[in-house]
Amino acid sequence: MKNDRSKNTDEVATEPRQTRLIPVSKWNEFHEWPPVGGMRHLIFFRNENGFAKVLKRPNRTWLIDEKAFFKWASEKKYRPRKKDPEVQENAKIAVQP
């Protein structure tokens, strides 16, 4: 008679491992980059930079899907916000002696 348990363990081993959900406040306990402040910036502009697909919010806590985050970061779809050109020109003039 065959052992049914060995079949079940093979099926479990072939299933993809579930990703880790990390609270934003504890992100730096697992990864150095980005810092928590940078992560909060990404969350604030999540609809503009595509970061929304990385986030989960079951309660009031933002959770980051670790696997989805690194996939998002490798795609390099993040673009900084467009700043007002007049503000940049004024800043350059103020910096020059």
Predicted confidence band of residue 12 (pLDDT cuts 50, 70, 90):
very low
Up-side HSE of residue 63: CA atoms within 13 Å toward CB? 11
pLDDT reported for residue 30: 94
Q: Say how far residue 70 (Cα) sits from the centre of its chain.
A: 7
pTM reported for the whole predicted model: 0.61
Residues forming a β-bridge with 22 = 64
Predicted confidence band of residue 52 (pLDDT cuts 50, 70, 90):
very high
Distance CA 44, CA 56 (A): 14
Least confident of 7-11, 46-50, 68-72, 78-82: 7-11
Up-side HSE of residue 80: CA atoms within 13 Å toward CB? 4
